Structure 1
Amino acid sequence: MAIDPYSPCPCGSGKKLKFCCPDLAGDIEKIHRMVAGDQPHAAIKHLDSLLAKQPDRASLLDLRANLELSMHEFDAARKTIEHYLAKHPRNPAALGQKAILVAASESGTAAIAPLQDALELLDDDMPLHVFEAIGAVGHALLQEGELIAGRGHLLLYAGIAPKDDNMAIKLLLRMNLQSGLPLLIRELALPRDCPEDVLWQGEFNHASRAIARGQWRIAEEMLVSLRDKAGAQPEIVYNLALVRGWLGNLELFAEGLHEYARLETNEDRAVEAEALAQLVDPSLEDPKLDTVRIAYAVGDEDALAERLAEDKRVEDYPLDPEQFEEDAPRPRSSYILLDKPTPKTRPDLKREEIPTVLGFLSLYGKRTDRPAQLELTTDREEGFEGVKSQLVDVTGGYLGEILEEEVVAEKSWSEESLSWRWRLPPGTPLDQRNELVAEGRREAILERWTEAPRAALGGKSPRETVGDPEFRLALLASALIIEQAADNPQELPLFAELRQQLGLPDNAVSDSEQNVDSRFPMVRVPQLDLSKLDEQQLDDLLNRATMLGANLAILVVGSELVARADQLQNIDLSKAFRQMVRVEPDLSRAQEWIAKARRWAEKNHRSASEWALLDLEVAIARNDSTAAQRVLEELRTVHINEPGVAEETYRILYSAGLLSADETGRPTPLAMPAGQDSAPQESSGLWTPEGDGEEVSAAGGGKSAIWTP
Structure 2
Amino acid sequence: MAVVEPYAPCPCGSGQKFKWCCHKVENQAERAQRLFESGQVEAAVQVLDEGLRKEPDNAWLLTRKALYQVRLGQSDSAKASLRLVLRKNPKHFGAMTLLSRLVIATEGPSEGCLQLQQILSAFPATEIPALAPLVSFVASSLVRFTQYPAAIRHFSLAIVLGSPAEEIAQNIGAIQRDVSISPWLKNSDELAPAPESLSESTLERFNEALDWADGGLWSAAASAFEVLSEEKGASLEADRNAGLCRLWIADDDGAVEGLRRAIVRMGNTDEAVDLEALCQQLDTIETDDQVEQVQLIWPVSDQDRLLKALRNDPSIDEGDTGPIDPEAPESPVVVNFGFLDRPKLQTKNGLKPGDVPLFVGRIFVGQEIAGIETYDDGRLDGLVERFTTLAEGGIRPAHPKTKVINKVGKAGLALSWEWRLPDDIDSDERARLEQEQGAALIREVWPKTPMAYLGGRTPQEAAKAGDAVVPLRAALFQLESIRTHWRDSVDFAALRSSLGIQPEPEIDPETVEIETVHLSRLNLIPAERLDDDRLTALYWRARQFALDAVVEKTARVLVERPDLWEKAKVESFSLFSDLALLVAGNGKPDEAFEWVRKGRQADPAAKRAAYAPMWDMVEVRIKAREKSPEAWVPDLAVVLERYAGNPESTQAVMLNLLEMGLVRLTPNPDKQGDFLLDSRPLQMLMAEYGPRVTTASGRLGVSATKGEIWTPDKATGGGGGLWTPGSGSASAAEGGDKPKLIIPGR
- How is 1:115-514 mapped onto 2 (pairs within 5 angstroms)? 115-116=116-117, 119-120=120-121, 125-126=126-127, 128-144=129-145, 146-161=147-162, 164-167=165-168, 169-175=169-175, 181-195=181-195, 203-220=205-222, 222-265=224-267, 267-282=269-284, 284-285=286-287, 287-295=289-297, 300-321=302-323, 323=326, 325=328, 328-331=331-334, 333-345=335-347, 348-365=350-367, 367=368, 374-382=370-378, 387=383, 391=387, 403-404=399-400, 406=402, 408=404, 409-487=406-484, 491=488, 493-511=490-508
The structure-2 alpha-carbon separation of the partners of 1:133 and 1:307, relative to structure 1 and needing over 3 Å to count, comes to closer
Which has the larger displacement, 605-614 or 192-201? 192-201
Which has the larger displacement, 199-208 or 132-141? 199-208
- Determine the structure 2 residue equivalent to 1:15: none
What letter matches 1:658 in structure 2?
Y
Task: Give, in angstroms, the shift of residue 211 of structure 1.
Answer: 1.7
What letter matches 2:372 in structure 1?
L
Per-residue CA deviation, residues 444-501 of structure 1 (Å, 9 max, x unaligned), is 1122222221222221111222231222333333333434444469528543333223
Which has the larger displacement, 334-343 or 196-205? 196-205
Task: Give, in angstroms, the shift of residue 286 of structure 1.
Answer: 5.6
Report sequence identity in percent.
19
What letter matches 2:188 in structure 1?
L
- Determine the structure 1 residue equivalent to 2:55: none
| 8 A Cα contact 2:450 2:458, kept in partner | yes
What letter matches 2:571 in structure 1?
D
| 8 A Cα contact 1:357 1:423, kept in partner | yes
Task: Give, in angstroms, the shift of residue 260 of structure 1.
Answer: 0.9
2: distance between equivalents of 1:576 and 1:320? 47
The structure-2 alpha-carbon separation of the partners of 1:418 and 1:237, relative to structure 1 and needing over 3 Å to count, comes to same
Task: Give, in angstroms, the shift of residue 320 of structure 1.
Answer: 3.0
1: distance between equivalents of 2:149 and 2:544? 17
- Determine the structure 2 residue equivalent to 1:614: 618
Task: Give, in angstroms, the shift of residue 599 of structure 1.
Answer: 1.5
Report the 3-state secondary structure (helix = DSSP H, G, I; strand = E; otherwise coil) of the residue aligned with 2:364: strand
What letter matches 2:402 in structure 1?
E
- Determine the structure 2 residue equivalent to 1:36: none
- Give TM-score, length-normalised by structure 1: 0.73
Per-residue CA deviation, residues 287-332 of structure 1 (Å, 9 max, x unaligned), is 223333345677654334223323333222113348275664333x
- Determine the structure 1 residue equivalent to 2:600: 601
Task: Give, in angstroms, the shift of residue 229 of structure 1.
Answer: 3.2
1: distance between equivalents of 2:534 and 2:160? 23
| 8 A Cα contact 2:496 2:503, kept in partner | yes
2: distance between equivalents of 1:633 and 1:137? 42
- Determine the structure 2 residue equivalent to 1:20: none
Report the 3-state secondary structure (helix = DSSP H, G, I; strand = E; otherwise coil) of the residue aligned with 1:320: strand
Task: Give, in angstroms, the shift of residue 612 of structure 1.
Answer: 1.6
What letter matches 1:380 in structure 2?
D
Task: Give, in angstroms, the shift of residue 165 of structure 1.
Answer: 3.5
What letter matches 1:433 in structure 2?
R
Task: Give, in angstroms, the shift of residue 421 of structure 1.
Answer: 0.7
- Determine the structure 1 residue equivalent to 2:573: 574
Per-residue CA deviation, residues 321-359 of structure 1 (Å, 9 max, x unaligned), is 48275664333x321122344444466444333222232
- Determine the structure 2 residue equivalent to 1:706: none
Report the 3-state secondary structure (helix = DSSP H, G, I; strand = E; otherwise coil) of the residue aligned with 2:216: coil
| 8 A Cα contact 1:103 1:111, kept in partner | yes
The structure-2 alpha-carbon separation of the partners of 1:382 and 1:506, relative to structure 1 and needing over 3 Å to count, comes to farther
The structure-2 alpha-carbon separation of the partners of 1:99 and 1:277, relative to structure 1 and needing over 3 Å to count, comes to farther
2: distance between equivalents of 1:547 and 1:117? 34
Count of matched residue positions in the alignment of Structure 1 and Structure 2: 620
2: distance between equivalents of 1:412 and 1:42? 47
1: distance between equivalents of 2:500 and 2:234? 30
The structure-2 alpha-carbon separation of the partners of 1:314 and 1:265, relative to structure 1 and needing over 3 Å to count, comes to closer
RMSD of Structure 2 on Structure 1 (CA): 4.7
| 8 A Cα contact 2:228 2:235, kept in partner | no
1: distance between equivalents of 2:117 and 2:333? 52
The structure-2 alpha-carbon separation of the partners of 1:567 and 1:538, relative to structure 1 and needing over 3 Å to count, comes to closer
1: distance between equivalents of 2:22 and 2:82? 13
Structure 2 residues not aligned, in runs of 5+ = 26-58, 71-77, 663-681, 703-739
Report the 3-state secondary structure (helix = DSSP H, G, I; strand = E; otherwise coil) of the residue aligned with 2:133: helix
Which has the larger displacement, 198-207 or 422-431? 198-207
Task: Give, in angstroms, the shift of residue 432 of structure 1.
Answer: 2.8
Q: Is the counterpart of residue 104 in structure 1 residue 101 in structure 2?
A: yes
Per-residue CA deviation, residues 537-588 of structure 1 (Å, 9 max, x unaligned), is 3444444444444444443344443454565442224334445555657364
Per-residue CA deviation, residues 218-277 of structure 1 (Å, 9 max, x unaligned), is 434543454343344322221122223334443322111111111114611112212222
Report the 3-state secondary structure (helix = DSSP H, G, I; strand = E; otherwise coil) of the residue aligned with 1:669: coil
Task: Give, in angstroms, the shift of residue 203 of structure 1.
Answer: 4.8
Which has the larger displacement, 254-263 or 575-584? 575-584
- Give TM-score, length-normalised by structure 2: 0.69
| 8 A Cα contact 1:345 1:425, kept in partner | yes
| 8 A Cα contact 1:597 1:611, kept in partner | yes
1: distance between equivalents of 2:263 and 2:116? 31
The structure-2 alpha-carbon separation of the partners of 1:52 and 1:326, relative to structure 1 and needing over 3 Å to count, comes to closer
Task: Give, in angstroms, the shift of residue 283 of structure 1.
Answer: 7.2
Q: Is the counterpart of residue 669 in structure 1 residue 701 in structure 2?
A: yes
- Determine the structure 2 residue equivalent to 1:658: 689
Task: Give, in angstroms, the shift of residue 619 of structure 1.
Answer: 1.5
Per-residue CA deviation, residues 652-709 of structure 1 (Å, 9 max, x unaligned), is 7746443379999985139xxxxxxxxxxxxxxxxxxxxxxxxxx9944865xxxxxx
Report the 3-state secondary structure (helix = DSSP H, G, I; strand = E; otherwise coil) of the residue aligned with 1:442: helix
| 8 A Cα contact 1:176 1:186, kept in partner | yes
Report the 3-state secondary structure (helix = DSSP H, G, I; strand = E; otherwise coil) of the residue aligned with 1:421: coil
Task: Give, in angstroms, the shift of residue 415 of structure 1.
Answer: 0.9
2: distance between equivalents of 1:296 and 1:448? 35
- Determine the structure 1 residue equivalent to 2:51: none
What letter matches 2:599 in structure 1?
W
Per-residue CA deviation, residues 377-425 of structure 1 (Å, 9 max, x unaligned), is 2233355566557657866887885732735332111011221011122
- Determine the structure 2 residue equivalent to 1:527: 524
2: distance between equivalents of 1:391 and 1:74? 48
